Amino acid sequence: MTGDVLLELDHVTIQFGGLKAVADLTLQIGRGELVGLIGPNGAGKTTVFNLVTGVYAPTVGRMLFEGRPIQGMKPHAIAARGITRTFQNIRLFASRCCRDNVCIAAHQHARAGLADAILRTRRFEDDERDIQRRAGELLEILGLSAWADTPAAELPYGQQRRLEIARALAGRPRLLLLDEPAAGLNPQESDQLMRLIEDIRQRFHLTILLIEHDMRVVMGICRRIAVLDYGVKIAEGTPGQIRTDPRVIEAYLGEEVHADLGAGG
Amino acid sequence: MRRALWLAGVLVALVALNVALPRLLNPYLFQIVVLCGINVILAVSLNLVNGFTGQFSIGHAGFMALGAYGSAMFSLHVGQGWVAALEAGHVPGVVAEGFALLLALLVGGLLSALAGYLVGLPSLRLRGDYLAIVTLGFGEIIRVIITNVDAVGASRGLPGIPGWVNFFWVGLGVAAVIFLSLNLARSTHGRALFAIRDDEVAAEALGVDTTSYKVLAFVLGAFFAGVAGGLFAHYLSYLNPNSFTFLKSIEVIAMVVLGGLGSVSGAVLAAIVLTLLPEVLRPVKDYRMVLYSFMLIVLMITRPQGLLGNRELSLTWLTRRRRRAGAPSA
């Protein structure tokens, strides 16, 4: 990792009643990295995302983004700082068309106020044109142009996953959190997705933290992987190191993924 | 430039209708037209909260009552005096009354908006049913206070409010709330409201300050409910707390739901339909409300998404529809 740390989790713990969903997690993500976060079901991966995006506040610990603390901030304020995410269980704005879904996320960059919008001032028109143009570009990049005017709920599943990514990108993040983007995709679709993730990372100079169950995807594109089990980080390293780590293998033992891990190593 | 033309067009049309309608319609029909207008304002303003933002408020009658009583008290104690002074200074009566009415409506609207802000700030952290209960409580508190405060006539009602409202002012209120709603809907702020309705968690994660936007919708909705109340007061010249019961709130909700949650034109259409329906059903006397309710049920079963669903009535939509309908035969 380079010296330029984008996100730093410093001994972060969150406790729900008697359950420590994430315990004493320390993790650093450098600018421009693509880091994988894996672990068995219920290991606390999505909870980490919820912590970083402000859905939950950590019980203990500090979270720094670009050197400034973000713990205790509201999710929209954290999004404005430059962290956006996708959701494991797709959460699109179902009744709105694809373009609107993307435009909504560009919202925080609008300069025109409410009065501008109601009176349709020049500033509003300029703003709106910018937002629409940018939304069009993102839909194009994600291969969704043909669906621009289709309500999100009517999209095929794979396109919904892509729209989640387009929407997250519209917030112009520096850190993008992808929560199981390959879930439910067939092998060809996940291959496309892998290329897409790499493409957008370079194009938008992104740092990406990726939760994924599809080991092929994780091992294929992440240079560094952290493994969670019962809320505790049990391993961190290159895909090669993770494959052979005995604690990781034990954590996954009995699960289907174990075979993938072993075969790869 | 185009906007100035539009504004001029609307004003000229309103003035023309203002002159024509009372001559064309008998007083009974004219009153129905005015009440349609007031209900349109109520429905379109509640649509900002329940339709656009997906928050379930059932206290709209409370906001209307605040606006009605607030503006009436202003006119009785301040506005009337100013009109007299202006007329003594040879200002034409129409101008003086219009000026005083505009101020009264603003006072009523702002009073309502302030109440919307105060109620909204703490309660919009609540969701769904819980918010509904809070707004229900608010509406009832307002009504009970009015019923018991002697200064506003208590349960006897408040008579003698200057009858400054004519068709022009109601039409202007309708135009204003529709204009605001449509422009809001087609802006980044409107999209933020829709996002909250569809998925609050996702909206927040993508940078929408959901609490502020919910309060905004609430305040805007309350403001126009207050304006509608002010128009109501200055049209009837008499206010009674019984006009602002829980049933009035339900009536407005029925308009919003029937029109299609989120559709401005739907709310307009439904407000007109539901204002006319009880009048049209007068001949059946005792069965009037039974039939009214029955028709509501049938409408909701046949069109659960509301009359217009999520759509707006527009010329392009109508022509496209006609073309599509004509396509197979051609």
B282, two tokens: 């007068």
- Tens-digit pLDDT profile for residues B66-92: 999 999 999 999 988 888 888 888 888
- From chain B, the residues in CB contact with A94 under 8 A are 198-199
C-alpha to C-alpha distances, A220 to A34, A209, B257, nearest whole angstrom: 11, 14, 50
Q: Do B188 and A168 touch (CB under 8 A)?
A: no
Say yes or no: A178 and A242 in one domain. yes
In the predicted structure, residue B205 carries a pLDDT above the cut 60 = yes
Site from B6, B191, B208, B211 to mutate, A interface, most A CB atoms within 10 angstroms: B191
End-of-domain residue from the set A170, A194, A219: A170
The string of DSSP codes covering A227-253 is EEETTEEEEEE-HHHHHH-HHHHHHHT
- Tens-digit pLDDT profile for residues B289-325: 888 888 888 888 888 777 777 677 765 555 555 555 5
Site from B177, B187, B194 to mutate, A interface, most A CB atoms within 10 angstroms: B187
Say yes or no: A118 and A131 in one domain. yes
Tell me the shortest Cα–Cα distance from A144 to chain B, in angstroms: 19
Which of B190, B206, B216 shows the shortest C-beta gap to A79? B206
Say yes or no: A137 and A185 in one domain. no
Rounded to whole angstroms, the Cα distance separating B185 from A158 reads 29
Which of B187, B207, B216 shows the shortest C-beta gap to A80? B207
Which of A76, A95, A118 shows the shortest C-beta gap to B180? A118
Please name the residue of chain B whose CA is at the shortest distance from the CA of residue A90.
B202
Q: Is residue A89 part of a domain?
A: no
Q: Do A76 and B188 touch (CB under 8 A)?
A: no
Tell me the shortest Cα–Cα distance from B129 to chain A, in angstroms: 22
Q: Is residue A228 part of a domain?
A: yes
- Tens-digit pLDDT profile for residues B15-41: 889 888 888 889 899 999 999 999 999
Say yes or no: A124 and A224 in one domain. no
- Span A103-107, average pLDDT: 86
Which of A94, A105, A124 shows the shortest C-beta gap to B207? A105
Say yes or no: A22 and A65 in one domain. yes
- Tens-digit pLDDT profile for residues B143-165: 999 999 988 888 888 998 998 99
- What's the total number of domains in chain A? 2
For B135, phi and psi rounded to 5 degrees? Answer: -70, -35
pLDDT > 90 fraction of chain A, expressed in percent and rounded: 57
End-of-domain residue from the set A135, A170, A205: A170
For A43, phi and psi rounded to 5 degrees? Answer: -80, -15
> A117 at the B interface (CB within 8 A)?
yes
Say yes or no: A77 and A3 in one domain. yes
End-of-domain residue from the set A170, A188, A219: A170
Rounded to whole angstroms, the Cα distance separating B57 from B132 reads 5
Q: What is the pLDDT of residue A265?
A: 37
- Span A205-217, average pLDDT: 90
Contact indicator for B182, B48 with CB cutoff of 8 Å:
no
Say yes or no: A61 and A115 in one domain. no
In the predicted structure, residue A250 carries a pLDDT above the cut 90 = no
- Tens-digit pLDDT profile for residues B217-260: 999 999 999 999 999 999 999 999 999 999 899 999 999 988 88
- From chain B, the residues in CB contact with A95 under 8 A are 194, 197-198, 262, 310
Average model confidence (pLDDT) across chain B: 88
C-alpha to C-alpha distances, B6 to A117, A145, B1, B316, nearest whole angstrom: 17, 35, 9, 19
Which of A96, A108, A110 shows the shortest C-beta gap to B194? A96
For chain A, the straight-line distance linking the first and the last C-alpha, in angstroms and rounded, comes to 23
- From chain B, the residues in CB contact with A91 under 8 A are 199, 201-202
pLDDT > 70 fraction of chain B, expressed in percent and rounded: 93
Rounded to whole angstroms, the Cα distance separating A189 from B284 reads 64
Rounded to whole angstroms, the Cα distance separating B52 from B46 reads 9
Burial category of A32 from C-beta neighbours within 10 Å (exposed 0-12, middle 13-18, buried 19 and up): middle
Rounded to whole angstroms, the Cα distance separating B254 from B186 reads 24
Say yes or no: A157 and A177 in one domain. no
Q: Do B205 and A74 touch (CB under 8 A)?
A: no
- A-B C-beta contacts closer than 8 Å: 105
In this prediction the pTM is 0.87
Q: Is residue A10 part of a domain?
A: yes
B237: left (phi over 0), alpha (psi -120 to 50) or beta: left
Say yes or no: A181 and A212 in one domain. yes
Say yes or no: A22 and A42 in one domain. yes
Query: Which residues is A207 bridged to in the sheet?
Result: A175
Q: Do B208 and A128 touch (CB under 8 A)?
A: no
> A128 at the B interface (CB within 8 A)?
yes
In A50-125, DSSP assigns E strands to 60-65, 68-69, 83-85
Q: Is residue A88 part of a domain?
A: no
Say yes or no: A203 and A217 in one domain. yes
Angle at A228 between CA A222 and CA A231, to 5 degrees: 150
Domain range for A155 is 94-170
pLDDT band at A3 (very low <50, low <70, confident <90, very high): low
How large is the ipTM?
0.86
The distance of Cα B28 from the centroid of its chain, to the nearest Å, equals 21
- Tens-digit pLDDT profile for residues A140-193: 999 999 999 999 999 999 899 999 999 999 989 999 999 999 988 888 988 989
Which of B183, B192, B206 shows the shortest C-beta gap to A84? B206
Tell me the shortest Cα–Cα distance from A123 to chain B, in angstroms: 12
Q: Do B180 and A94 touch (CB under 8 A)?
A: no
Q: Do B205 and A80 touch (CB under 8 A)?
A: no
| Chain B residues in contact with chain A using a Cβ-Cβ cutoff of 8 Å | 3, 179-180, 183-184, 187-192, 194-195, 197-199, 201-210, 216, 262, 310
